[in-house]
Amino acid sequence: MSTLPAKFAPEWPPTSPYVTAVGGTALQGDTEVAWPMGGGGFAFAHTQPGYQAAAVAEYLRTAHALPDAALFNSSNRGFPDVSALATNYAIVLNGQVSTVSGTSASTPTWAAIVTLLNDARREKGIAPLGFLNPFLYANAKRGFHDVTVGANDAYTCFTGDGFSAAVGWDPATGLGSPNFPALLAAATNASTQR
């Protein structure tokens, strides 16, 4: 008989406050929901950065059905920062069309979005965004489609859900999925120049 871990075991690098951690979402009909395999939670080795402190505090204040507090350190860095669709990406492998799912699909989607934002800044003579997270959290309300349904799975620790999606930032979907026109407007605004 196997025993379950005493705590969640978040892995590096998404627990680092110096990276933009990307979670996953899925579609249930027309509703975007947290992808259960998307991971997320709180770091044990990294303190909570100031850029996310207010968002995390609001989640902890309003969240329903949090996992047992002994399983995670809510005062440390929360992740993911953002999410994108993580399911059913069409690929061609050995000449055959297939689909893949995972944050290994949502992460390069975000990389492409950031590349487009930086390209638009370059065209306006503005320096690249650089360290992205303060910009993302500063534009949380308008720059994202808030995902408020679903949860990530905690099957390695206990039966049931881990962290639930919620209004605002949450450890299942971060700030949500990208609202590209709003992020583009914010990224090319004169006040975001460096």
pLDDT score for 147: 95
Q: Which residue has the higher pLDDT, 16 or 117?
A: 117
State pLDDT tens for residues 22-66: 999 999 999 999 988 888 888 888 889 999 999 999 999 998 888
Q: Which residue has the higher pLDDT, 118 or 72?
A: 118
Question: Out of 72-76, 81-85, 137-141, which region has the weakest mean confidence (pLDDT)?
Answer: 72-76
Confidence of residue 159 (pLDDT cuts 50, 70, 90): low
pLDDT above 80 for 16: yes
pTM for this one?
0.87
Structural domain containing residue 87: 22-187
Residue 7: inside a domain: no
Residue 106: inside a domain: yes
Residue 42: inside a domain: yes
Residue 36: inside a domain: yes
Residue 15: inside a domain: no
Which residue in 9, 14, 188 sits closest to 104, CA to CA? Answer: 14
Q: C-alpha distances in angstroms, 129 versus 42, 56, 69, 180? A: 26, 23, 36, 15
Residue 95: inside a domain: yes
Please give the tally of structural domains in the chain. Answer: 1
CATH number of residue 97's parent domain? 3.40.50.200
Residue 162: inside a domain: yes
pLDDT score for 163: 86
Residue 78: inside a domain: yes
pLDDT above 70 for 154: no
State pLDDT tens for residues 83-92: 999 888 888 9
pLDDT above 80 for 192: no
Residue 64 is given by DSSP the state S
d(CA 36, CA 33): 9
